[in-house]
Amino acid sequence: MNLHRLLLQRAAEGRPIRIAQIGAGKFGSMFLHQARRTAGMHVLGIADLSIPRARSALARVHWPDGSYDASDLDTAMRDGSTHMTQDAMALIADPRVEVVVECTGHPEAGLRHARAAIAHGKHVVMVNVEADVLAGPLLAREAAKAGVVYSMAYGDQPALVCEMVDTLRAGGFTVIAAGKGTKYLPHFHASTPATVWGFYGLTEDQAQAGGMNPQMFNSFLDGTKSGIEMAAIANATGLAPPEDGLAFPPAGTSELHTILRPHNEGGILPHKGMVEVVSSVRRDGSEIPDNLRWGVYAVFEGETEYARRCFTEYGVATDPSGRYAALWRPYHFIGLELGVSVASAALRRESTGSSDSWSGDVVAVAKRALKAGEVLDGEGGACAWGKCVPAARSRALGALPIGLAHGIRLTRDVPEGAIITTADAPPDPRHDAVQMRAEMLALFD
């Protein structure tokens, strides 16, 4: 109950947490819906490249007319309204802003905004997991030096997994595996924006009517988003990605503690302490009744006979040995829960997960045979999908991260299923994201 109490105190004192939000898409809109209903929070300003689109989003989430028409930040401060702007950097720089919520979904923009916020002494809630995986460990170190919080976004699966892992470790348990669920079949890796809607059971017209972005939804399907989220968890917890990418084993909640244990004890894990994604369907496409498609989990160990006896006494479901058990949460609330991160950063000066290490990376893998001269089309595109591998392997290969695999021309052929390297597709060193990635490589080398 502590965060709510602290928020009420800030509200009573007339000094709510002043928030600058960058991007008013789906995730951001969900947070904006809740922010107006949360005592002790004030969205001082929203920056978006399209003000009309952002206004439409606010109307859709029931913000009353006039609440987002402040002509400037001074007016917004006086009457508790919100200022809309296209100038994200000016909003970030305003000294009255405490927390910057970055939810553009664009890796390069996200890195640029987060670095600026840290430089101006603001806490950062990084909804933009794509940016975080590209150079989050670098930003986390910069934030620590600046005395501000750099945080994952609560409500998104990585932060919820981090919370679960932290709770278990704080209780003295060893975490064996942690991750999330999704719908997965091996042929999904080859999906493109042109084929994606068939996998979702939609026509192209239905998807367009719903305002659904085919490339974004394809990144959810082809394994890229899962890889990005598992890399983020690995970097925040120190859990290891599999050497050659996620296995996506089919598993229901009743099977987690049996399947996600070491291979020499009957499970599938190469060793203890790993990230993994479980599929909600069997390889024949049949749905698992107790699947975890929308949820998160952690498998942990009872390392002593006494602990295992306690599991039995209190009805904890375990594997046949009684040694391994699991916790899970069947769903997540996305942006509706993001306020937990904002409040934690501003009031406790604690993150809800942060990339403290560089354990995992997400590398671009050719979806088909690619030819020299082709231009890569990024996350969720027709050329490559993102595979989560150990960061050490990515560095050794000189792999191209999926977050940079957009608009780059291939200099040589790449066979289907091969990891694309920076020698195959050299990134433009003039881009901010490329420069920050180079800084992170130098830091960890």
Count CA atoms closer than 13 A to 366's CA, side-chain side: 20
Phi and psi at residue 269, to the nearest 5°: -75, 135
Structure-block tokens of residue 139: 């930003």
User: How far apart are alpha carbons 88 and 149 in whole angstroms?
Assistant: 19
User: What would the 3-class secondary structure string for the chain be?
Assistant: CHHHHHHHHHHHCCCCEEEEEECCCHHHHHHHHHHCCCCCEEEEEEECCCHHHHHHHHHHCCCCCCCCCECCHHHHHHHCCCEEECCHHHHHHCCCCCEEEECCCCHHHHHHHHHHHHHCCCEEEECCHHHHHHHHHHHHHHHHHHCCCEEECECEHHHHHHHHHHHHHHCCCEEEEEEEEECCCHHHHHCCCCCHHHHCCCCHHHHHHCCCCHHHHHHHHCCHHHHHHHHHHHHHHCCECCCCCCCCCECCCCCHHHHCCEHHHCCCECCCCEEEEEECECCCCCECCCCCCCCEEEEEECCCHHHHHHHHHCCCCECCCCCEEEEEECCCCHHHHCHHHHHHHHHHCCCCCCCCCCCEEEEEEECCCECCCCEEECCCCCCEEEEEEEHHHHHHHCECEHHHCEEEECCCCECCCCECECCCCCCCCCCHHHHHHHHHHHHHC
pLDDT at 152: 98
Domain limits, CATH 3.90.1210.10, in the chain: 360-444
Contact 299, 176 (CB under 8 A): yes
* Residue-level pLDDT, tens digit, the chain, 445 residues: 699 999 999 999 999 999 999 999 989 999 999 999 999 999 999 999 999 999 999 999 999 999 998 999 999 999 999 999 999 999 999 999 999 999 999 999 999 999 999 999 999 999 999 999 999 999 999 999 999 999 999 999 999 999 999 999 999 999 999 999 999 999 999 999 999 999 998 898 888 877 788 999 999 999 999 999 999 999 999 999 999 999 999 999 999 999 999 999 999 999 999 999 999 999 999 999 999 999 999 999 999 999 999 999 999 999 999 999 999 999 999 999 999 999 999 999 999 999 999 999 999 999 999 999 999 999 999 999 999 999 999 999 999 999 999 999 999 999 999 999 999 999 999 999 999 999 999 999 8
CA-to-CA dists, residue 236 to 108, 132, 140, 181, 375, angstroms: 21, 11, 10, 19, 33
Ranges in the chain annotated CATH 3.40.50.720: 2-155+336-348
Question: Would you state the structure tokens that stand for residue 116, as one six-digit string?
Answer: 């600026």
At 53, list the tokens: 């689109």
Characterize the bridge pairing of strands 274-279 and 174-182: parallel
User: Which residue matches tokens 């925040």?
Assistant: 236
Distance CA 123, CA 223 (A): 31
Distance CA 151, CA 362 (A): 20
Q: What are phi and psi of 70, to 5 degrees?
A: -60, 130
311: tokens are 């599991």
Residue 249: what residue type? P
360-444: CATH topology is Type Iii Antifreeze Protein Isoform Hplc 12 (3.90.1210)
Q: What's the whole-model pTM score?
A: 0.96
CATH of 2-155+336-348, one of 3.40.190.10, 3.40.50.10190, 3.40.50.720, 3.40.50.620: 3.40.50.720
Query: CA 61, CA 263: separation in Å to the nearest integer?
Result: 48
Please give the single-letter amino acid code of residue 146. Answer: A
CA distances from 375 to 12, 383, 390, 408 (A): 55, 9, 26, 5
Q: How much is the pLDDT for 209? A: 76
Contacting residues for 307 by C-beta, under 8 A, at least 6 apart: none
Q: Which residues, including other chains, have CB under 8 Å from residue 250's CB and lie 6 or more apart?
A: 278, 279, 280, 281, 282, 283, 288
What pLDDT is stored for residue 1 in this prediction?
62
Q: Report the pLDDT value the prediction gives residue 445, as an integer from 0 to 100.
A: 82
